[in-house]
């Protein structure tokens, strides 16, 4: 393909004369056309991956790489005095996701297309995304993340369906993003929307009138659900998503020749967590509308739907009051009642029923009773689901349960974000690992090769420098690449325990203040958004930002310890941060992190994990061996036992462990409180009390060992050869964590596409 000609045709002028904006727009169009050429209509059976979130990241480079155009375009622009990096700055990151679940969905779409499988994503086109995080007075504040500007990769289609909600009719419109596979086919991500959305209803921050559904339906992902209107809006969103999905699915199947009784030969639906659950009663309803009996409709739907669970936290297992459903989607309520009734008649076990005693509808119960597959996302997580959280279901349906350990796409999380490492790996072991990730193992041959180890450290240093440059340019903060980059980036949640990391940093700060000078200089980096209504999570951010401010203004401490909290952590920032990391903090309370995928990205880019035996950390441990990972903390069994017997008492640790007391007390010290210019700080005080009276995620029992193991990792870092060897072995053993492997397993066990 003559890319130069295409680009010039699109521009209507020479590249050299065009502005970056014009080039960006032309590239979007050239890329979309090239991607469309790789669409395939064949394939009888199709997967529909329905998800409330897709955290896709910027698309330009990724699409160029997957279409095999990256080098050519890069050189062409260079030749004309332009820079692809500058042009990429104009590429807005689609704000359609929140965390791991959404990023996983995006890695999956990449792998599905790369493996040549027939599978599309289905979701919603949020205009303002989750939110954009800014810091003001050391507090998180939220503003709309307006990503849909004139020029994006979105393609407006003429597909539209009527959706009845709350006694009104809404007409949807479907936008598509093309999903390019690496040297393979193109699939699509379908994003449903309304033409009537009106962002002018957003007032201060991200507040808006929650009742104006025609204007607000697809404004934000996860609108605040702390009041009834907010919870109802979530039901509106979810139903809108699945009603459209069901229409699309049935239309496509019929057009390919399905008589609907054989729908399962044409369709498989993967329900990504409970948000899309209403697709089950809705598909049944639409099948009945198309003439099937309820018995047939239920049976067929059952054969088409599979469910993935992403968390064991009870708060995320959605339950909706049946009254809400009656007022918004009365058309599916009788179906839900039939589904419930059948389960109640068949099994005596009340705990697996769909409508509970308080008239709440359990979304997971619909999925598990009426889907044919239930999977967890890492070995340990699936075992916990089977043995505790979902044990009652497991006893009835053991054959439905299976594990699919998460993975990440190497196209984005290695090739695109870390080109120098990719290139070096290609020189050493050939290009095969890009398509067959297990070939990374060949790198092990070099584990004692000093030149290779040096070169790996050198690449890491360059990536650290590049990250420093980026932070200086975008945040005005000057970092020192010659310190250990010790990083924790992920959503802010108490179970992920950013507060444990913070306590270590306070301890280190106090030591330095007391004249105990550490041997290693460390830069602790955090990236995390807190859900707007999650008070304690915001308190933790406030405490981190407060410590950051103290240190930034203290030249004595700053030489040895920095604490940096990055604002608005997203895929774009992650792609710059991850290749620059030395130590990857994966410190959730064992049993609570379903899998984690950041842990895999860091490992693949040659960081060493410091973590608990939780989620996929367990499998990372098994793959790299104990020499190449730092493990601490209570085991998952110990944690589960502690919850069961209710024996945990944070006060006991506080009273008996002087280091814990010292660090926690510091939260409400005059240094910290003083930053507010007042004599008290509600947020810090609340966090202090939370530690003392609750500490629900058991920070204190793990504190001593965490500090010990973390300090050991820092001191091991001094021996650069040994350290680099650990990094090499992490990279070499990351092959298992490719989402290509995960998707092959989904396809083999669940989807069975050709
Ligand atoms: C996350 C889990 O917390 C994480 O451990 C896992 O790696 C990821 O899903 C992908 O499976 N869950 C979410 O992001 C989430 O929102 C609540 O879960 C429904």
Tell me the per-residue pLDDT of 250-287, one tens digit each, with 9 for 90 and over: 999 999 999 999 999 999 999 999 999 999 999 999 99
How far apart are the CA of 377 and the centre of ligand 1, in A? 9
Ligand 1 atom closest to the Cα of residue 493 is 3
Where does residue 152 rank: exposed (0-12), middle (13-18), buried (19+ CB within 10 A)? middle
Q: What is the pLDDT of residue 510?
A: 98
Q: How far is CA 540 from the centre of its chain?
A: 20
CB atoms within 10 A of CB 338: 16
Residue 524 near residue 562 (C-beta atoms within 8 A): yes
Q: What is the pLDDT of residue 317?
A: 86
Sequence-ordered alpha helix ranges (H) in 585-649: 598-604, 617-624, 636-645
Please say if the pLDDT value at position 701 is more than 80.
Answer: yes
Ligand 1 atom closest to the Cα of residue 274 is 19
Candidates 3.40.50.2000, 3.90.550.10, 3.30.830.10, 3.60.15.10; correct CATH number of 44-58+93-375+742-751?
Answer: 3.40.50.2000
Is the CB–ligand 1 distance for residue 596 below 6 Å?
yes
Is the CB–ligand 1 distance for residue 407 below 6 Å?
no
SS3 annotation, 687-726: HHHHHHHCCCCCHHHHHHHHHHHHHHHHHHHCCHHHHHHH
Q: What is the pLDDT of residue 321?
A: 98
How far apart are the CA of 599 and the centre of ligand 1, in A? 13
pLDDT-based confidence at residue 246 (cuts at 50, 70, 90):
very high
How far apart are the CA of 15 and the centre of ligand 1, in A? 43
Catalytic residue of the set 45, 103, 310, 542: 310
Nearest to 93 by CA among 431, 521, 574: 574
**CA distances to 458, 468, 607 from 465, in Å:** 11, 5, 16
Ligand 1 atom closest to the Cα of residue 377 is 11
pLDDT in tens, 80-116: 999 999 999 999 999 899 999 999 999 999 999 999 9
**CA distances to 512, 547, 549 from 554, in Å:** 11, 11, 9
521 is catalytic: no
Instruction: Give the ipTM of the model, two decimals please.
Output: 0.98
Contacts of 734 (CB under 8 A, 6+ apart): 437, 440, 600, 603, 604, 623
Is the CB–ligand 1 distance for residue 593 below 6 Å?
yes
Mutate to test the pocket of ligand 1, among 52, 100, 743 (most ligand atoms within 8 A of CB): 100
> DSSP code of 68?
T
Residue 523, classed as helix, strand or coil, is strand
Residue 275 near residue 318 (C-beta atoms within 8 A): yes
Residue 73 near residue 64 (C-beta atoms within 8 A): yes
Query: DSSP per residue over 431-491, as a string?
Result: GGGGTSGGGGGGGGGGTT-HHHHHHHHHHHHHHHHHHHHHHHHHH-----TTSEEEEEES-
Which residue has a Cα nearest atom 7 of ligand 1? 596
Is the CB–ligand 1 distance for residue 101 below 6 Å?
yes
Distance CA 163, CA 282 (A): 11
Q: What is the pLDDT of residue 348?
A: 86
535-552 vs 682-693: helix axis angle to the nearest 10? 110
Cross-strand bridge partners of residue 207: 203
Give mean pLDDT, residues 709-731.
Answer: 98
- Provide the token pair at 665: 């007390």
247 is catalytic: no
Q: What is the pLDDT of residue 213?
A: 98
Rg (CA), the chain: 26
Give mean pLDDT, residues 654-678.
Answer: 97
How far apart are the CA of 280 and the centre of ligand 1, in A? 22
Q: What is the pLDDT of residue 754?
A: 87
How far apart are the CA of 222 and the centre of ligand 1, in A? 14
Query: DSSP per residue over 589-602, as a string?
Result: PTT--S--SHHHHH
Q: What is the pLDDT of residue 487?
A: 99
How far apart are the CA of 99 and the centre of ligand 1, in A? 7
Is the CB–ligand 1 distance for residue 599 below 6 Å?
no
Which residue has a Cα nearest atom 16 of ligand 1? 101
pLDDT in tens, 506-556: 999 999 999 999 999 999 999 999 999 999 999 999 999 999 999 999 999
Q: What is the pLDDT of residue 150?
A: 72
The domains of the chain are located at 1-37+70-90, 44-58+93-375+742-751, 410-737
Average pLDDT over the chain reads 97
Ligand 1 atom closest to the Cα of residue 104 is 10
Is the CB–ligand 1 distance for residue 273 below 6 Å?
yes
Q: What is the pLDDT of residue 32?
A: 97
Catalytic residue of the set 6, 82, 381, 496: 496
Give mean pLDDT, residues 172-189.
Answer: 98
Is the CB–ligand 1 distance for residue 248 below 6 Å?
no
Residue 194, classed as helix, strand or coil, is strand
Nearest to 668 by CA among 655, 683, 649: 683
Q: What is the pLDDT of residue 316?
A: 78
Residue 522 near residue 484 (C-beta atoms within 8 A): yes
Distance CA 483, CA 718 (A): 11
Mutate to test the pocket of ligand 1, among 594, 601, 619 (most ligand atoms within 8 A of CB): 594
Ligand 1 atom closest to the Cα of residue 406 is 11
pLDDT in tens, 607-656: 999 999 999 999 999 999 999 999 999 999 999 999 999 989 999 999 99
Where does residue 658 rank: exposed (0-12), middle (13-18), buried (19+ CB within 10 A)? exposed
pLDDT-based confidence at residue 151 (cuts at 50, 70, 90):
confident
342 is catalytic: no
Tell me the CB-side half-sphere exposure of residue 503, using CA atoms within 13 A. 29
Q: Starting at the edge strand that comes first in sequence, how are the strands of the sheet with 583-586 ordered? A: 561-566, 522-527, 484-489, 583-586, 608-611, 630-631
Give the strand pairing for 132-136 and 139-143: antiparallel
Is the CB–ligand 1 distance for residue 104 below 6 Å?
yes
Give the strand pairing for 168-180 and 186-194: antiparallel
Mutate to test the pocket of ligand 1, among 53, 54, 101, 315 (most ligand atoms within 8 A of CB): 101
Please say if the pLDDT value at position 672 is more than 80.
Answer: yes
How far apart are the CA of 103 and the centre of ligand 1, in A? 9
- Provide the token pair at 67: 């279409």
Distance CA 441, CA 3 (A): 36
- The alpha carbon dihedral of 408, 410, 413, 416 has a sign of negative
Is the CB–ligand 1 distance for residue 316 below 6 Å?
yes
455 is catalytic: no
How far apart are the CA of 577 and the centre of ligand 1, in A? 21
395 is catalytic: no
Ligand 1 atom closest to the Cα of residue 491 is 14
Catalytic residue of the set 601, 710, 714, 725: 601
How far apart are the CA of 654 and the centre of ligand 1, in A? 31
pLDDT in tens, 312-351: 888 778 999 999 999 999 999 999 999 999 999 999 899 9
Is the CB–ligand 1 distance for residue 595 below 6 Å?
yes
Please say if the pLDDT value at position 1 is more than 80.
Answer: no
pLDDT in tens, 634-645: 999 999 999 999
Cross-strand bridge partners of residue 360: 321
Query: In residues, how long is the chain?
Result: 754
How far apart are the CA of 596 and the centre of ligand 1, in A? 7
Catalytic residue of the set 491, 562, 576, 592: 491
Catalytic residue of the set 114, 218, 301, 597: 597
44 is catalytic: no
Candidates 3.40.50.620, 3.30.300.30, 3.30.450.70, 3.40.50.2000; correct CATH number of 410-737?
Answer: 3.40.50.2000
Where does residue 107 rank: exposed (0-12), middle (13-18), buried (19+ CB within 10 A)? buried
Please say if the pLDDT value at position 42 is more than 90.
Answer: no
Matching residue, tokens 């008239």? 359
Distance CA 524, CA 485 (A): 6
CB atoms within 10 A of CB 432: 13
Is the CB–ligand 1 distance for residue 408 below 6 Å?
no
How far apart are the CA of 101 and the centre of ligand 1, in A? 4
């Amino acid at each position: 393909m003559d890319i130069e000609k295409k680009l010039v045709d699109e521009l209507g002028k020479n590249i050299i004369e065009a502005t970056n904006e014009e080039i960006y727009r032309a590239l979007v169009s050239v890329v979309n056309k090239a991607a469309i050429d790789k669409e395939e209509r064949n394939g009888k059976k199709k997967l529909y991956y329905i998800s409330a979130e897709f955290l896709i990241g910027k698309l330009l480079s990724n699409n160029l790489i997957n279409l095999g155009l990256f080098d050519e375009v890069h050189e062409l622009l260079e030749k004309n005095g332009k820079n692809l990096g500058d042009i990429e700055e104009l590429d807005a990151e689609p704000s359609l996701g929140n965390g791991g679940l959404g990023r996983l969905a995006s890695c999956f779409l990449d792998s599905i297309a790369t493996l040549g499988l027939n599978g599309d994503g289905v979701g919603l086109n949020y205009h303002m995304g989750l939110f954009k995080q800014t810091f003001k007075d050391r507090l998180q504040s939220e503003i709309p993340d307006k990503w849909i500007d004139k020029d994006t990769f979105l393609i407006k289609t003429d597909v539209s369906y009527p959706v009845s909600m709350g006694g009104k009719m809404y007409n949807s419109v479907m936008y598509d993003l093309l999903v390019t596979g690496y040297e393979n086919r193109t699939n699509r991500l379908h994003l449903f929307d309304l033409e009537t959305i009106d962002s002018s209803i957003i007032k201060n921050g991200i507040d808006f009138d929650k009742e104006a559904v025609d204007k607000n339906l697809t404004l934000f992902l996860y609108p605040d659900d702390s009041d009834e209107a907010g919870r109802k809006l979530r039901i509106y969103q979810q139903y809108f998503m699945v009603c459209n999905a069901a229409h699309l699915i049935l239309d496509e199947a019929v057009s390919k020749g399905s008589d609907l009784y054989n729908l399962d030969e044409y369709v498989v639906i993967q329900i990504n967590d409970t948000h899309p659950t209403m697709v089950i009663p809705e598909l049944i309803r639409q099948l009945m509308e198309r003439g099937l009996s309820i018995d047939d409709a239920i049976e067929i739907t059952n054969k088409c739907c599979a469910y993935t669970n992403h968390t064991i936290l009870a708060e995320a297992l959605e339950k909706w009051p049946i009254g809400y459903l009656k007022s918004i989607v009365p058309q599916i309520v009788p179906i839900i009642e039939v589904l419930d009734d059948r389960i109640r008649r068949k099994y005596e076990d009340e705990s697996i029923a769909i409508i509970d005693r308080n008239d709440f509808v359990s979304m997971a119960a619909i999925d598990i009773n009426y889907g044919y597959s239930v999977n967890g996302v890492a070995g340990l997580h699936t075992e916990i689901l089977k043995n505790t959280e979902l044990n009652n279901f497991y006893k009835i349906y053991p054959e439905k349960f299976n594990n699919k350990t998460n993975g990440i796409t190497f196209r984005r999380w290695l090739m695109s974000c870390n080109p120098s490492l990719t290139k070096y790996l290609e020189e050493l072991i050939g290009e095969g690992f890009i398509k067959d990730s297990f070939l990374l193992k060949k790198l092990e041959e070099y584990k004692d090769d000093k030149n290779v180890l040096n070169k790996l450290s050198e690449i890491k240093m360059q990536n650290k420098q590049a990250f420093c440059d980026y932070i200086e340019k975008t945040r005005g903060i000057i970092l020192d690449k010659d310190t250990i980059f010790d990083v924790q980036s992920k959503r802010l949640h108490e179970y992920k325990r950013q507060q444990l990391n913070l306590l270590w940093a306070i301890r280190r700060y106090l030591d330095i203040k007391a004249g105990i000078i550490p041997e290693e200089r460390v830069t602790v980096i955090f990236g995390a958004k807190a859900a707007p209504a999650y008070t304690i999570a915001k308190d933790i951010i406030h405490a981190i930002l407060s410590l950051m401010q103290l240190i930034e203004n203290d030249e004595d401490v700053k030489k040895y310890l920095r604490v940096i909290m990055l604002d608005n952590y997203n895929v774009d920032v992650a792609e710059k941060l991850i290749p620059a990391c030395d130590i990857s903090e994966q410190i959730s309370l064992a049993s609570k992190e379903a899998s984690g995928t950041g842990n895999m990205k860091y490992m693949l880019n040659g960081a060493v994990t410091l973590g608990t035996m939780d989620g996929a950390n367990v499998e990372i441990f098994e793959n790299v061996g104990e020499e190449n990972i730092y493990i601490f903390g209570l085991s998952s069994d110990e944690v589960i036992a502690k919850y069961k017997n209710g024996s945990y008492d944070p006060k006991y640790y506080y009273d008996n462990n002087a280091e814990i007391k010292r660090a926690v007390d510091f939260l409400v010290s005059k240094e910290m409180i003083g930053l507010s210019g007042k004599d008290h700080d509600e947020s810090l005080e609340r966090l202090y009390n939370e530690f003392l009276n609750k500490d629900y995620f058991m920070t204190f029992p793990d504190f001593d060992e965490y500090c010990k193991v973390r300090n050991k990792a820092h001191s091991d870092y001094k021996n650069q050869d040994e350290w680099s060897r650990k990094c090499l072995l992490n990279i070499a053993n990351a092959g298992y964590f490719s989402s290509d492997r995960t998707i092959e397993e989904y396809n083999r066990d669940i989807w069975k596409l050709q």
